[in-house]
Amino acid sequence: MNNILLPAFILLAGALPARASVIDSKHDLAATSATSGPKAVNETLTCLFCHTMHKPAQMSALWNRVGAPVDFTFYSSNYLNNYLGMKTPTMSDLNASKTKLCLSCHDGVTALGAVFSVAPNTLEVTGGLGSSKVIGTNLANDHPVLYDVKPGAGPPAQPGTNPEIQLPPAGDPVKVYGDTNRVECTSCHDPHDNTYGSFLVKSNANAALCTSCHIKTGYTSSAHAVSNTVYTPAGAAATTVAEFSCRNCHKVHGASSAQAYIMRDAEENTCYNCHGSPALLGAKSIKNLFAKASKHPTETVSGVHKNPELDASNLGLGKRHAECWDCHNPHRARIGTHATPGNGIGDSLLGAWGVEPTYGAGAWLAATSYVRQVFNDTVNYKEYQLCFKCHSYYAFGTNPPANSTDQSIEFNPNNRSAHPVRSSANDQAGSVAPKALAAAQMSAPWNASPGAQTMTCSDCHASDVTSDPKGPHGSAAPKMLKGPRRYWPNRASGTPWTLRDIKDGANSWSSNLFCVNCHPLYTNGNWKNKAHDAHEGRRAGDKDIQCVACHVVVPHGAKRSRMIGYASEGAPYNYGGAGTYDRLVIDGFRKASGPNNYSKSNCNSRATGCHSGSGTFDP
């Protein structure tokens, strides 16, 4: 090689910042380099492998590299391309970019010695890049480049802007380029200076590099941002969850191809890195809950969830899914669950979203409209809003999925009865007096101020094992019923519960019957309700009355008082068994003034062995 070029390269190198030195770094491919990586067999000029004074491939930086002879695949996502309205980069964008310069070595296709300034456009090099250094021609699993940074309020006020993106502050080593503030490889990497490793422009301790541009709402006070749990991530040194920060879940290069947003793995598997089995110290072990018989389809449905989901368009039939993100916002969630009694959210749901239903005047009707609610605090937002997002007319219209019901109908405040999930018993507008059960009919903590209390869906739907993490992740019981008592409407044997079970102390009713989690039906030989006492199966002519002969199977809410169902009702509210009393048998019911004031006149039934009441019954 003609050494006349050497002064020019010295001048070029001299133009670099004083601290920068490519000499003997991994980017020094000269034969004399001290690097253990690939290097030339004979060529001794360090700068020649990237720069030339004559016939540069690009005027920018006097580039000397030969470009790859293949097309690249670029990063895309629903967030960038649909929500923010940005166009996916093209080969024209790449060919005019600084990123192309970096990829001319790291694409895994172009030879390291492929340069313009020598004939036949190649220098002999021994060795090659390690697999971890090859980005490849598929950029879909790498941090997006060739997109423009557009900070702002976000759609719909300013399409194309992002409320959680900022331009790097003045003086920050992270750079964006041109009038459009374009992201390039050199936004985060300085090819001449390896002071911080991986040729980063600054240390990424505590995600300092990421947070030059990414400002996630609420992150600094989130559970992940404050955790001092020590662990050793794959391919990294021991650290803490807080220090590793964004990198706990995201991988800038070579992320999972199964998931957008450069995540380390498919979404739930990314979460399982800490919340698997065994869980990281201080984290909840969630993975095993999804091995239970009844669970949300977190592991069984993939590739459906989009970010962001702002309405019901991705929640209906054919798109139903339940990824971790659908209930938990990992950038905002904190440690803590909801207070009991109460229907407010817990800290673990902060940043998630749900819908608040609005109802017309009629009973047993779906909500007429819904307002999206982003959970910004634990005071003003309710857990049922999260559940209604998927389990109501909002998601699936008039066609509920198989084995599902429209919970906006069941918790309509104009109904005669409903568990106090949306409204307290006293605020159940369609209920008739007395609205609340007596304190003696409730167990602690529900026996304090009955009628004024509310509850959450997860007070009934969660793990069957009380020591498991809270929340409706999975249960061994159907319908994800919560323990310790988890059998309804059937006993463990699979046949319906009867009042005789309770009277005779049979079938372990006190430890198995789901209703007893909150309702002490029978204590010290006494029934808490006279109607149960009258049908418990001991009197002459009495029958072995089953619970489902009078009460609806789905006890969210009912058209009649006290969760009573009429014989005219269909599945799934009517058990509909073959026997006389393993189906709804009542034709008319009227709530009594108290649990000990029931008589035959309060109920009408044409079933064998039953009696006819009189007067006005619930419609």
471-510 pLDDT, tens digit per residue, is 999 999 999 999 999 999 999 999 999 999 999 999 999 9
pLDDT (0 to 100) of residue 482: 97
pLDDT (0 to 100) of residue 9: 43
pLDDT (0 to 100) of residue 8: 44
Alpha-carbon separation of residue 121 from 111, 143, 234, 338, 353 (angstroms): 10, 31, 39, 67, 57
Q: Which residues contact 166 (CB under 8 A, 6 or more apart)?
A: 151, 213, 215
Q: Which residues contact 560 (CB under 8 A, 6 or more apart)?
A: 416, 417, 566, 589, 618
Residues 511 and 590: their CA atoms lie apart, in Å, by: 31
Helices assigned H by DSSP within 193-300: 223-226, 241-244, 267-275
Angle at 307 between CA 303 and CA 310, to 5 degrees: 120
- Eight-state DSSP code of residue 226: H
pLDDT (0 to 100) of residue 20: 65
The candidate with the shortest Cα–Cα distance to 351, out of 335, 370, 329, 327, is: 329
pLDDT (0 to 100) of residue 308: 92
Residue that has been written with the tokens 């189906």 in this structure: 583
Residues 508 and 302: their CA atoms lie apart, in Å, by: 40
- Eight-state DSSP code of residue 158: S
Residues 518 and 460: their CA atoms lie apart, in Å, by: 10
pLDDT (0 to 100) of residue 539: 60
Residues 263 and 75: their CA atoms lie apart, in Å, by: 13
pLDDT (0 to 100) of residue 119: 78
Using an 8 Å Cβ cutoff, are 53 and 106 in contact?
A: no
* pLDDT tens string 355-382: 999 999 999 999 999 999 999 999 999 9
Residues 296 and 291: their CA atoms lie apart, in Å, by: 10
Q: Is the dihedral of CA 112, 117, 119, 121 positive or negative?
A: positive
For the chain, list residues with pLDDT below 50: 1-18
